[in-house]
């Protein structure tokens, strides 16, 4: 009887531990979604404890970094090729930015000064590396991984900085509701937008004629003029606008987390058409060969024409939070909680290969 009670007591403790452990966002489930980068022959992506390099043709693994998983280190930001493809920048949830050899995955250097997760991939330009961190700071490094300057905002940075040719500066958006234009050489503020009304978690895009487009959690897509630094137009979405708006000629593709996909006029912000195929949209669409591909968290890849005619709504195993990425005649998908970490589809939707999690 006593023994039974002890066993019962241990079982209760175990159940409580599991109940609590299942909800803490520790290593039990993924806490981000995969980022993908492609060059001519190789696809690089991050998911969970590793960044991977695969052969684009057949999905065969070339290497993984780190070779063995390190406890509590996760990678979700897309790896970035830099320094004439001699470095691959891999930003981790362990607050470390790694430079690895793109050929064999060996580590070149690591940058340790940040204090929180890297959610966004870094930006690599001729001026150096710019890495936004959840500790509210943007770090500028040279290609040896040495800190050049640090720019601090009020809230975490989940969006990558972007380079503007027109301004000769980099733009960084923050969860603090602002867009910052920063001098890449010294980290000084060039200008700062007005309060844009809500947190911004994804990088803006810039049109050739200097319109900066961004999505906010205040249910808005906003266009800012680079020259006047003023809001040019605002478009109201039905829910949080999470994904970066994508410019395609005179059209802008935007979306919200309730699953509405909008096409707007670039210069006026007027709605041209919208579709709601079902499921939340958290990532930008891919525009390839006259088709627009976007993914939803209800496990479907939606393909529409640039005029808004639905071509197909293709079920995919797993949740699709990440953007589809074009690679020649293939479309790459990185589903979460799925049989495959990475799937290559033909443009007609047939699976060419799938990369399963390594055992």
Kindly list the residues in this chain that would bind another protein in the complex (CB under 8 A): 1-2, 5-6, 9, 13, 17, 19-21, 23-26, 29-33, 76, 93, 117, 119, 134, 155-156, 158, 175, 197-199, 201, 217-219, 240, 257, 280, 282, 297, 321, 336
Residue 282 beta carbon to another protein: minimum distance, rounded to whole angstroms: 6
> Which residue has tokens 């733009």?
171
Residue 215 beta carbon to another protein: minimum distance, rounded to whole angstroms: 12
In order of 6, 11, 18, the CA distances from 15 in angstroms are 14, 6, 5
- How many Cβ atoms sit within 10 Å of the Cβ of residue 306? 14
CB half-sphere exposure, 175, CA atoms < 13 A? 14
Residue 138 beta carbon to another protein: minimum distance, rounded to whole angstroms: 16
Question: Are 157 and 139 spatial neighbours (Cβ–Cβ below 8 Å)?
Answer: no
Residue 73 beta carbon to another protein: minimum distance, rounded to whole angstroms: 14
CA distance 208 to 303: 26
Residue 271 beta carbon to another protein: minimum distance, rounded to whole angstroms: 21
> Which residue has tokens 């690599």?
124
Show the tokens assigned to 77: 């930001």
Nearer to another protein, 183 or 258 (CB): 258
Nearer to another protein, 134 or 251 (CB): 134
Residue 74 beta carbon to another protein: minimum distance, rounded to whole angstroms: 9
Cβ neighbours for 67, distance < 8 A, ≥ 6 positions apart: 105
CA distance 281 to 164: 27
Nearer to another protein, 5 or 359 (CB): 5
Nearer to another protein, 184 or 259 (CB): 259
How would you write 211-238 as a 3-class SS string?
EEEEEECCCEEEEEECCCCCEEEEEECC
Nearer to another protein, 170 or 257 (CB): 257
Residue 175 beta carbon to another protein: minimum distance, rounded to whole angstroms: 5
Cβ neighbours for 132, distance < 8 A, ≥ 6 positions apart: 118, 120, 122, 138, 139, 157, 158, 159, 160, 161, 172
Nearer to another protein, 29 or 310 (CB): 29
Establish whether the linkage from the previous residue to 66 is cis, with ω within 30° of 0. yes
* CA end-to-end distance (rounded Å), the chain: 43
Nearer to another protein, 19 or 228 (CB): 19
Nearer to another protein, 79 or 145 (CB): 79
Cβ neighbours for 348, distance < 8 A, ≥ 6 positions apart: none
Q: Does residue 85 sit in helix, strand or coil?
A: coil
Q: What residue spans of the chain are helical by DSSP H?
A: 2-21
Residue 257 beta carbon to another protein: minimum distance, rounded to whole angstroms: 6
Residue 344 beta carbon to another protein: minimum distance, rounded to whole angstroms: 24
Task: Give the Cα-Cα-Cα angle 234, 156, 241 (nearest 5 degrees).
Answer: 30
Nearer to another protein, 63 or 217 (CB): 217
């Amino acid at each position: 009887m006593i023994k039974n009670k002890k066993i019962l007591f241990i079982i209760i403790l175990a159940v409580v531990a599991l109940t609590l452990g299942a909800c803490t966002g520790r290593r039990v489930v993924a806490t981000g979604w995969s980022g993908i980068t492609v060059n001519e022959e190789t696809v690089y992506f991050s998911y969970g404890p590793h960044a991977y390099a695969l052969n684009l043709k057949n999905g065969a693994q070339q290497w993984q970094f780190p070779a063995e998983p390190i406890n509590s280190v996760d990678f979700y930001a897309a790896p970035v090729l830099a320094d004439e493809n001699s470095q691959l920048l891999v930003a981790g949830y362990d607050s470390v930015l790694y430079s690895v050899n793109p050929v064999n995955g060996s580590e070149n250097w690591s940058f340790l000064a940040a204090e929180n997760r890297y959610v966004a991939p870094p930006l690599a330009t001729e001026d150096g590396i710019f890495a936004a961190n959840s500790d509210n700071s943007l770090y500028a490094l040279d290609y040896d991984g040495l800190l050049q300057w640090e720019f601090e905002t009020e809230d975490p940075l989940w969006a990558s900085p972007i380079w503007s040719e027109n301004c000769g500066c980099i733009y960084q958006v923050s969860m603090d509701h602002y867009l910052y234009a920063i001098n890449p050489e010294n980290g000084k503020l060039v200008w700062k937008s007005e309060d844009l009304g809500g947190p911004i978690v994804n990088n803006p895009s810039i049109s050739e004629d200097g319109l900066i487009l961004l999505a906010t959690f205040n249910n808005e897509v906003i266009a800012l003029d680079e020259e006047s630094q003023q809001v040019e137009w605002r478009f109201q979405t039905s829910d949080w606008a999470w994904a970066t708006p994508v410019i395609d000629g005179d059209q802008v593709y935007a979306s919200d987390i309730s699953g509405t996909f909008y096409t707007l006029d670039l210069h006026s912000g007027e709605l041209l058409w919208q579709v709601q195929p079902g499921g939340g949209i958290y990532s930008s669409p891919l525009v390839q060969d006259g088709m627009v591909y976007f993914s939803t968290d209800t496990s479907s890849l939606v393909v529409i024409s640039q005029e808004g005619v639905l071509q197909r709504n293709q079920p995919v195993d797993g949740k699709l939070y990440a953007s589809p990425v074009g690679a020649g005649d293939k479309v790459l998908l990185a589903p979460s909680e799925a049989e495959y970490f990475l799937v290559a589809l033909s443009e007609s939707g047939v699976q060419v290969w799938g990369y399963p999690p390594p055992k």
